[in-house]
Structure 1
Amino acid sequence: MSEPPIRGDGARSANPDLDRLLVEAQRLHPKKIDLTLDRLRRVLTELGNPEASLPPVFHVAGTNGKGSVSAFLRASLEAGGKSVHVYTSPHLVRFNERVRLGGTLVEDAALMSALSRVMEANGGRPLTFFELTTAAAFLEFARVPADALILEVGLGGRFDATNMVAPAGTAACGLTHISLDHQQFLGDNLVDIAAEKAGIAKAGVPLIAAHHSAPLMHRIAQAADEAGATYLPRGNLWDATFSRNGIDYRDRHGELRLSAPALKGRHQHENAGLAAAMLRHQDKIAVPDSALRAGPRWASWPARLQQLTEGTLIAPLPDGVTVTLDGGHNPGAGAAIGQYLKRRRTRGQRQPVTLIVGMVEGKDVPGFLQQVAPHADRLIAVPITGHVHESPDRIRDVASSLGLTAETAADVTAALSHAGAEGPPRDIMVCGSLYLAGEMLDANGTPPN
């Protein structure tokens, strides 16, 4: 009998012992998301409050760009010789990707030990999967010494499990771009969403923010003031200008020429600038200017305009076919993908573009496709194996209404083979879901490491 499709993160493992724990953890609460900190606060107290023994924390919230800003922070800190823990979600292929200890993904044995400790302390009471796994991550981050910890918010900010970290242990908070997503939990307008995400603001801690519209800036400033945080939006006390050759960054400390980001897309220049501002406006860990300059060039973050050049699925494709993978799944992310495709064409790369798109249930299919469709010629809609997803037929129909030639395929592997057979030169963009991106990387034999 086949497994039912997964609603939520779909955390499984090839290790049967770890897989058993992950499945058991997902059964402790009937909901994937239930925003409150009371349950986690109780469990952390039972565990001896590991969140109070963490390295200096860099806390990152926002709708799009959280993972990329985290990658730039990590690259800059490591370029300065620092040991860095990182907590991100969701994973692409292996759950272990979420917990990076000093540059290495957490081992199964350590992860199982931490999960077991949390489950024992919880005593079978309701606890969401993200709350439980965040508590387990805190145990590992407190156990293994490091110079810094980068925490990516899971959803929202104010009631996110990562927001249990204390102000005294936080070096800086960062707020990336904000757009519509998860409205059923965060509100149905951008001002409400901004308030929830700005809820990571902490007393005495700088809140460094990307540029936002005036209404959002007003609400973020209000949240920062209520928390006793210093609000530092781009364009006020820090700013950055971008070119193909790098980033000209400036603040009250002076000016820096940062290297051009290794991550593709114009929006990555903004994410790199935000990461630099977070590091420049904190005083818990010294980061030399040389590391800030070099960091953007060394950042790596899979499934963010990631060009795949090798692997099981890529090898059979004819020369002249390029494959790019992006986990973007909301209108804001779609705009970044669309801008990337537009800039490729304006630079003379006018080969046909085929989109391979799969999206999980409940996502804004029209809003996402409206951003990417003007820059593509064809779309192949696919399911997302093992997850509750939007119907490929619906995705195809929306694409057709936007003027694209559209069809469906059985899965991403079949879609890629079909798109490649259309012949070079051709650009293929696989997008619409991080879970689809993970399926692609797994099938290609190129999981994150």
Structure 2
Amino acid sequence: MDDNRLAISDVINAAPLSALQIRVLLLCCIMVVLDGFDAAVIGYIAPTLTKAWHLSPQQLAPVFAAGLFGMFAGATGFGILADRYGRKIILILSLMIVATGTLATILTDSVMEMTALRFITGIGMGAILPNSITLASEYSPARSKILLVTLSYSGFTLGLAAGGWIAGIILPIFQWHGLLLVGGLAPLILIPIAIVWLPESLCFMAGRDRYRKKLNHIVSKITGKKNEAVYYINNETVQVSSPVAALFHIDTIRVTLVLWCAFFAFMFVFYLLTSWLPLILSKSGYPVAEMTHIAAMLPLGGVLGGIVMATLLDRLLSLHVLTVASVIAAITLTLTGAQLAHPQALLAAIFVLGFTLTGTMNNLSVLASTFYPTHARATGVSWALSAGRAGSICGSLSGGLLFSQAQSLSDVFIWLACPVAVACLALALAGNRKG
């Protein structure tokens, strides 16, 4: 037995942020950017694809749905595998799946083939985001953990936005095949970089004898001190045999249920807005250029809101920050519909909605990585995101029903405030949780 034991979290928290930690955060951000791009790519190629294959938009619906279902499956299943075999190997495997699936999609000539490949690709995409968040969290010191991980997570929104810019350049020249080629080659190039430069999670390696030498080497790079005699351990109190059981332990079950409820509600609204906001703006008489500009405020506000809220969360250590933001989002939703005829007011309303709604959603993903012990962390983040994926599927598919039930376009926004209000109540119940 080693008497010279140190908790790995204490070492990370005491040391200044090192070049190795910055490298991990940057690589996680890049992977999330590519994940966001590949998640959005099918939407950008849809108009070109419908013309090339002589399809109606409704005939492409299975392709969209398959990607979402694949992401749900990937987030649910690969979280457990990451807690058992490590974050790095799952991230590399996920990149391989995304690269292979996206490149193979170029060769398809039917909706059925594309639907099957999109499901497979979605499995890889669904695993990248939660495991990147988990790894970034485990390399971040507690004093700035939420802010650092939020900066990495913001890559997903940036990937969504970059997809539109890249599509505008590539689609007119190379059609839909060219955009898929970019989406497949990018993760393929990143695989060898991740193999060489991305280390395994410190928390995952701590306490495992087979990783002792490698862990000591990585810690020496972070602290600048070599001490081969130290045995690094995890100092966590929640220890159960199964990662899934840890989610429902007496110390974690409340936050698990709160996260699932909030994730479902926020991603339901976010994906419904992402899918249907351009149509709402078009029906309200906005030209394409102005419509795109207004719709872009949703992700842009989310990036800025996520960073501001992350800074507050690191300082205040309370979920009340997100509760207040959720209340503002619900109020903004009820007011947004009345601004459809007023471009500047609508632009401001969508920005505030992005700042509060999307910003809160981004921070929920990060917070999930701080609530669970190491042996269940990837599962906790993945399953919370799976609840969100279920919400995104319901949101994307229920837009038509919502439009048919609403008396006017402005009523759509009032209806959308309802699930956000439910999320507010859920967050309020857990708002006194510190740390």
Q: Greater helix share, 1 or 2?
A: 2
TM-score w.r.t. structure 1 length? 0.25
Q: Which has the higher contact order (CA 8 A, sep 6+)?
A: 2
TM-score w.r.t. structure 2 length? 0.26
